C-alpha cells in the first residue's frame, strides 16, 4: 500500500507566523516604553523595565523550555507557548484599561516566557518540516527575514497609533497592535492543534560528561558576549526612540512618534539587509574578522552619534502620523544609531561560531546556556536607563560603548580556545 506523503505547507506557514510573532511581541516594549513615560510618568529606567521583564524571563525559562521539549514534545510546547504569549499580550492590553504600570510589567514578563519557549521550538521544527538540508535552511532564512520584517514594522505601527499629540500616548491607543498579535496567536493555535506535524521529541540521555561548556574559557567569554550583544541590539533603538520623542530632541521639540518609529524601524530594516549580505560573505570571511569589523564599526558609529553637534540634522525617508511618506529632518546622531543595524545583524552568528568552536559533544549544552544569556536584552538596557536618568540619553550610550569594546576583545583575544586538552569526542 502506497503511503501518502504528508503535506506540511500549512504548519510551515504557521511557523512563519510564529517567527513573525517572536519579533513582534519582543519589539513591543520599545514603543510602549515611550508610552509609559507619558502615561505613568516613568523615568528612563522605569521605561526600560518592559524589556527587562521580557528578557529576564529567558533566564528563568531557558532550561525549563528544554525540559518541556523532552517531556511533551515540540508541538505541545509550541501550543503551550502560544497560550502563554496570548496571555502575556492580553495582560499588557488590560494594563491600559486599568492604567496600571505594574500590570503592564507582569504582561511583559509573561510574554517573555512565551518568546523563550517559541525560540526553542520554531527553529528545529521549521528545519524538520522543510526536510532538513538545504530546504530546511532556506525555510529558516525565510523565517529569519520575517522576524526582521516584524521588528521593522512594530515601532512604525505603534508610533502611528500613538498619534502626534503627547496626551494621546497611552497603552490603550496601542490596542489595535495588541489585538493583531492576539489574533495571530489564536489562529496559529487552532491550525497547529488540528494539523499533524512530526514529533521532534529528543530522547533523554543518561550519559554524564566529565566536563561542561563552562570548562572552556572561550565559551564563558562568548556567553558574556551574547549577553552584551542582545543588550546592544535592544538598547540602541530603544533609547534612540526615547531620545527622538523627548523634549530635548530636535532643538527642544519632540518628534512625531510615527516619524520616530520609522527611524527606529530603519535600524531593524538595516539588520535585515545586513543578515542577507552577511549570509553571502560568511563563507568567505572568518567569524573572527566579521565580528571584529562589526564591533569596530559599531564603536565608531556610536561615538559619532554621541559627539555629533546637537544642531546637526539629516533628511531621512519616513512615514508621518497621517500615513504620508516623505523626508523628515532628524538629528544626525540618530542616523548613526540607525546605521548600527548593519553591525548588529552579523554579531550573533559570529559570537556563536567562535564560542562553540572546539566544543564537540558539549555544543548542545552550550546552546542552552546561550538561550539563558539572552536575558542581557533586559538587564543591559536597564543599566543604560539608569545612566540616562543621571546623565541624559546620549550619555547612556557609554554603556553600549563598553559592551562593544568587550565584544571586540572577545573577537580578537577571548575567542581563542586555550582548553584544547579537554577531550570533546
Residues 411, 275 within the same domain: yes
Q: How many CA atoms, within 13 angstroms, populate the side-chain half-sphere of residue 89?
A: 27
Residues 310, 238 within the same domain: yes
The string of pLDDT tens digits covering residues 256-293 is 777 777 788 888 888 888 877 776 776 678 888 989 99
pLDDT of residue 166: 54
Choose the final residue of a domain: 147, 173, 197: 197
Q: Report if residue 206 sits inside a domain.
A: no
pLDDT of residue 203: 52
pLDDT of residue 1: 41
Total domains in the fold of the chain: 2
pLDDT of residue 217: 92
SS3 for 319-364 is ECCCCCEEEEEEEHHHHHHHHCHHHHCCHHHHHHHHHHCCCHHHHH
Q: Report if residue 295 sits inside a domain.
A: yes
The string of pLDDT tens digits covering residues 71-128 is 787 788 889 999 999 999 899 888 878 878 888 888 888 888 888 888 777 766 766 6
Residues 171, 129 within the same domain: yes
3-class DSSP assignment, residue 315: strand
Residues 144, 31 within the same domain: yes
Measure the CA–CA gap between 1 and 7, rounded to whole angstroms.
18
Residues 226, 156 within the same domain: no
The boundaries of the domain holding residue 362 are 212-419
pLDDT of residue 133: 47
- Listed as ranges, residues in the chain with pLDDT below 70 are 1-7, 123-124, 126-128, 130-145, 156, 159-160, 162-169, 198-209, 247-254, 279, 282-283, 318-326, 364, 424
Residues 68, 151 within the same domain: yes
Residues 169, 242 within the same domain: no
pLDDT of residue 408: 96
Choose the final residue of a domain: 197, 226, 249: 197
Residues 189, 225 within the same domain: no
Q: Report if residue 250 sits inside a domain.
A: yes
Q: Report if residue 281 sits inside a domain.
A: yes
Residues 146, 37 within the same domain: yes
Residues 155, 64 within the same domain: yes
Residues 190, 278 within the same domain: no
Q: Report if residue 424 sits inside a domain.
A: no
CATH number at residue 92: 1.20.1250.20
What number of H helices and E strands is found in the chain? 17, 2
Q: Report if residue 75 sits inside a domain.
A: yes
Q: Report if residue 4 sits inside a domain.
A: no
Choose the final residue of a domain: 139, 167, 197: 197
DSSP 132-168: SHHHHHHHHHHHHHHHHHHHHHHHHHHHHHH-S-GGG
Q: Report if residue 204 sits inside a domain.
A: no
Residues 65, 114 within the same domain: yes
Amino acid at each position: 500500500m502506497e503511503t501518502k506523503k504528508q503535506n506540511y505547507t500549512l504548519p510551515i506557514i504557521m511557523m512563519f507566523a510564529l517567527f513573525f510573532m517572536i519579533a513582534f511581541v519582543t519589539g513591543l516594549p520599545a514603543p510602549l516604553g515611550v508610552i509609559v513615560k507619558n502615561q505613568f510618568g516613568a523615568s528612563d529606567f522605569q521605561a526600560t523595565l518592559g524589556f527587562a521583564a521580557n528578557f529576564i524571563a529567558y533566564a528563568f525559562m531557558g532550561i525549563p523550555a528544554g525540559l518541556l521539549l523532552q517531556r511533551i514534545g515540540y508541538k505541545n510546547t509550541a501550543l503551550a507557548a502560544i497560550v502563554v504569549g496570548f496571555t502575556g499580550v492580553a495582560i499588557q492590553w488590560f494594563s491600559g484599561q486599568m492604567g496600571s504600570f505594574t500590570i503592564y510589567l507582569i504582561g511583559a514578563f509573561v510574554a517573555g516566557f512565551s518568546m523563550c519557549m517559541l525560540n526553542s521550538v520554531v527553529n528545529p521544527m521549521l528545519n524538520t518540516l522543510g526536510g532538513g538540508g538545504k530546504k530546511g535552511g532556506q525555510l529558516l532564512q525565510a523565517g529569519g527575514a520575517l522576524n526582521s520584517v516584524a521588528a521593522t514594522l512594530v515601532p512604525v505601527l505603534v508610533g502611528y497609533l500613538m498619534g502626534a499629540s503627547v496626551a494621546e500616548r497611552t497603552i490603550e491607543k496601542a490596542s489595535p497592535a495588541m489585538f493583531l498579535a492576539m489574533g495571530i496567536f489564536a489562529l496559529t493555535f487552532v491550525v497547529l492543534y488540528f494539523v499533524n506535524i512530526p514529533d521532534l521529541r529528543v530522547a533523554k540521555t543518561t550519559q554524564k560528561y566529565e566536563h561542561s561548556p563552562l570548562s572552556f574559557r572561550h565559551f564563558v567569554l562568548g556567553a558574556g558576549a551574547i549577553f552584551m550583544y542582545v543588550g546592544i541590539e535592544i538598547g540602541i533603538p530603544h533609547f534612540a526612540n526615547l531620545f527622538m520623542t523627548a523634549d530635548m530632541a530636535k532643538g527642544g521639540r519632540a518628534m512625531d512618534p510615527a516619524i520616530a518609529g520609522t527611524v527606529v524601524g530603519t535600524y531593524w530594516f538595516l539588520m535585515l539587509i545586513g543578515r542577507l549580505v552577511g549570509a553571502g560573505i560568511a563563507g568567505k570571511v572568518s567569524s573572527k574578522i566579521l565580528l571584529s569589523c562589526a564591533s569596530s564599526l559599531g564603536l565608531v558609529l556610536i561615538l559619532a552619534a554621541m559627539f555629533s553637534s546637537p544642531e546637526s540634522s539629516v533628511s531621512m525617508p519616513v512615514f508621518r502620523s497621517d500615513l504620508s511618506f516623505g523626508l523628515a529632518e532628524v538629528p544626525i546622531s540618530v542616523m548613526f544609531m540607525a546605521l548600527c543595524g548593519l553591525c548588529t545583524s552579523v554579531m550573533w552568528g559570529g559570537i556563536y561560531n567562535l564560542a562553540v568552536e572546539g566544543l564537540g559533544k558539549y555544543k548542545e549544552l552550550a546552546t542552552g546556556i546561550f538561550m539563558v544569556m539572552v536575558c542581557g536584552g533586559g538587564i543591559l538596557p536597564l543599566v543604560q536607563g539608569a545612566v540616562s536618568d543621571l546623565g541624559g540619553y546620549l550619555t547612556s550610550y557609554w554603556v553600549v560603548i563598553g559592551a562593544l569594546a568587550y565584544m571586540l576583545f572577545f573577537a580578537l583575544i577571548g575567542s581563542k580556545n586555550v582548553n584544547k586538552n579537554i577531550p570533546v569526542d
